Amino acid sequence: MAVAVALGLALPAGALTLKVADLDNLVAGNSVIVVATVQDGYAYWNRDGGLLLTDYRVAVTEVLKGQVEGQLTFTMMGGSDGKFTTLIPGGATLLPDGSYVLFLRQETLPGTEPVMTVAEHTQGVFDITDNGGVLWATSQAKDEHLVRGEDLSEEEGSEVPTIDVVGGAEGMALEELVSSIKALVAKGTGTQGVK
Amino acid sequence: MLSRKTLGTLALMAGLSAMVVAPDAMAFRMIQNNTVGFVSAGAQVPCNDAGGFTHWTIRQIIWRINTANNPGGVPGALDHALNQWNGVSGSDYDLSRGSSNSTGGFGTDGTNTILWANGNGCTGNCLALTGLTLTAGQVIVEADVTFNSNENWTTSNVNFDIRSVATHEIGHSLGIHHSDRNPLFARPTMRAGYRDGARTIENDDRDALRCSVNTFPINCTDPCPTGGVYDGANCYMWSVPGNDAFVYNGNFYYKPVWHPLGPCPNVVWDMVNNTSIQPWFDGANCYIGSAGGGPNPFFYDGNYYISASAGANPCPFGGTYDGANCYMYTWPGVDPFIFDENMYYKPLWHPNGPCPHPVVNNWLQISIMPTFDSANCLVQAGPGGNQTPFIWSNNYYLTPVCNP
């Protein structure tokens, strides 16, 4: 960013729009959105015996989209049986007792019937932390390839527009994220195009 | 993993290529995963992290393409990606594309596979996904890359460019995570990119691979872990028995051996033409002769007959009338069979069986008898993994996993 400003380059216009559009895409593309805390996980080999999957059971504290009551179980690629580990670099990370905002939908993973999963990987998981007494939500995609200030060309004629990660690298108040999601759901976003 | 989120930064980067930006030293990150049970992703850690990071313990890594759903240009694109990483000075990695394709998928099956699919957990905004199989000590034993087949893939350096994405994903397969370095130009491929500069690796990427090589050097004490004797270049396994030995799907075979007089040595007497005939091998069985269109061919005591006809000539289709039926061919001495009214017998193997030749390892002074798999003689199943079997100068070898 500093380099870009020093060069006198224009800052990207409409960043908020881009952020909202990105969240809109997440809301539209996922059938279940919850605030939840991980209770436990169970790793197992898939039907073909070639890939370790992990079923996560979470306690849902708030349902933002979809119909969920109490507990929810979903599946993610990756896991360990103590001898072998299947690892998805750049995939989402869920830890025991960790609290997250989760964007979920049905997908067919290798060697499974359609299962509920975090199909957007890190973009579909927001870490919830205590930020000076305020619950804070930070996208796990911030550690991947977050578009920062120098990525100005994204607004300068790229064929496919790209957007910043929701909440940026610093994250955002959980309350703000939740209310934004609720507003999109109330508006009807996601009733179409759920994958 | 790549998503399309960071698409398009590169045109500007090219425009600013005259700028000089101080590099972010050691911005690259490695993939760490020491957890057991609760796993999905890997942490981004610096090279010197006390917890170590994922790495291979071999240097020769073979990739194979599953050609289903492939866009055009995949072999060349994969070669490009592999060569990018092969070209890193100070690294002894030797990545290559196998001469045979993969039938494997996205999962642990002993083959490092690159494939295109609509699934495998890579849909929607996911362009490509690398899966690593680890064993104890964060040792990578297999990597697979699945590309999202719903996207428009190209080799023309526009979205989405296979070479760029493959170069990035192969970096993951080597234990390298996404870089923290995000410059205006010379953008590391491990920062993610889909075209232009992302086709080539940058110093940050090279530093990452050298970090892996130097942190986990190969002490090649066992270049031939699946057997054989290291001859200075390869693992010498067996002398070829001299009967059309070949390698198929990584396994070592030779063709079965017929009877010394050929596969169809037994003659029969043709009662139709009153002469002996030598059956001929049709590629699968020994053809003796036909019923000539006569009715109800059958065997009795191994001899071939057809039913007699009413009228003055009971055997109008040939053969000798024996008072009840028309005697066509004599018993060939082995079990004959009828197929489509023709008479055959199965080809005869060598007196010691179809796989009579032992295969000898002269160096270890051992020999084994192959097993007949109903088509060929299996000498030894392939080692799987990253060793390639081949036959050279009448001997069977495997490539080593490393070179001392």
Q: Is the pLDDT of residue B115 over 50?
A: yes
| pLDDT computed for residue B163 by the predictor | 92
Contact of B394 with B388, CB cutoff 8 Å: no
**What's the pTM?**
0.67
Question: pLDDT tens digit string along A129-141?
Answer: 999 999 999 998 8
- As a residue count, chain B comes to 404
**Test the B interface: residue of A19, A85, A102 with most B CBs within 10 Å:** A85
Question: pLDDT tens digit string along B253-289?
Answer: 998 999 888 899 999 998 888 899 899 999 889 999 8
**CA of residue A193 relative to chain centroid, distance:** 17
**% of chain B residues with pLDDT over 90:** 40
Question: pLDDT tens digit string along B290-344?
Answer: 877 888 899 998 899 999 988 899 999 888 999 999 999 999 988 899 998 889 9
- The rounded distance, in Å, linking the Cα atoms of B109 and B115 is 14
Q: Which of B25, B392, B13 is nearest to B238 (CA)?
A: B392
Q: Is the pLDDT of residue A20 over 90?
A: no
- The rounded distance, in Å, linking the Cα atoms of A137 and A129 is 7
- The rounded distance, in Å, linking the Cα atoms of B136 and B117 is 30
Whether B20 and chain A come into contact, CB under 8 Å, resolves to no
- The rounded distance, in Å, linking the Cα atoms of B327 and B304 is 6
Q: Beta-strand (E) ranges in chain A?
A: 32-45, 52-65, 71-77, 79-80, 85-87, 99-108, 114-117, 125-131, 134-139, 172-173
- Lowest average pLDDT, out of B66-70, B194-198, B307-311, B349-353, goes to B194-198
Residues of A in contact with B19 (CB under 8 A): 3, 7
| pLDDT computed for residue B193 by the predictor | 56
| pLDDT computed for residue A60 by the predictor | 97
Kindly tell me the burial class for residue A122, based on how many C-beta atoms sit within 10 Å of its own C-beta (0-12, 13-18, 19 or more): buried
Q: Between B401 and B21, where is the model more confident? A: B401
Whether A32 and chain B come into contact, CB under 8 Å, resolves to no
| Mean pLDDT, rounded, for B240-262 | 86
- The rounded distance, in Å, linking the Cα atoms of A122 and B44 is 13
Domain B2-215 CATH assignment equals 3.40.390.10: yes
User: Chain-wide mean pLDDT for chain A?
Assistant: 76
A145 with B36: Cβ contact below 8 A:
no
A92 with B40: Cβ contact below 8 A:
yes
Contact of A53 with A79, CB cutoff 8 Å: yes
| pLDDT computed for residue A143 by the predictor | 60
Contact of B235 with B229, CB cutoff 8 Å: yes
B38 with A86: Cβ contact below 8 A:
no
Residue B3 pairs in a beta bridge with B126
A89 with B120: Cβ contact below 8 A:
no
**% of chain A residues with pLDDT over 90:** 45
Residue A40 pairs in a beta bridge with A57
**% of chain B residues with pLDDT over 70:** 88
- Its ipTM equals 0.74
DSSP for B248-300, written as a single string: ETTEEEE---B-TT-S----EEETTTTEEE--EE-SSSEEEEE-TT-S--EEE
* Domain ranges within chain B, ordered by starting residue: 2-215, 229-257+352-398, 268-345
From A119's Cα to the closest Cα of chain B, the distance in A is: 6
| pLDDT computed for residue A6 by the predictor | 28
Contact of B237 with B397, CB cutoff 8 Å: yes
Q: Is the pLDDT of residue B385 over 80?
A: no
- The rounded distance, in Å, linking the Cα atoms of A103 and A63 is 11
| Mean pLDDT, rounded, for B105-111 | 86
From A181's Cα to the closest Cα of chain B, the distance in A is: 19
Whether B134 and chain A come into contact, CB under 8 Å, resolves to yes
User: Chain-wide mean pLDDT for chain B?
Assistant: 84
Question: pLDDT tens digit string along B14-72?
Answer: 333 333 344 456 789 999 988 654 556 788 899 999 999 999 988 889 999 999 999 99
Q: Which of B326, B327, B331 is nearest to B345 (CA)?
A: B331
- The rounded distance, in Å, linking the Cα atoms of B33 and B40 is 9
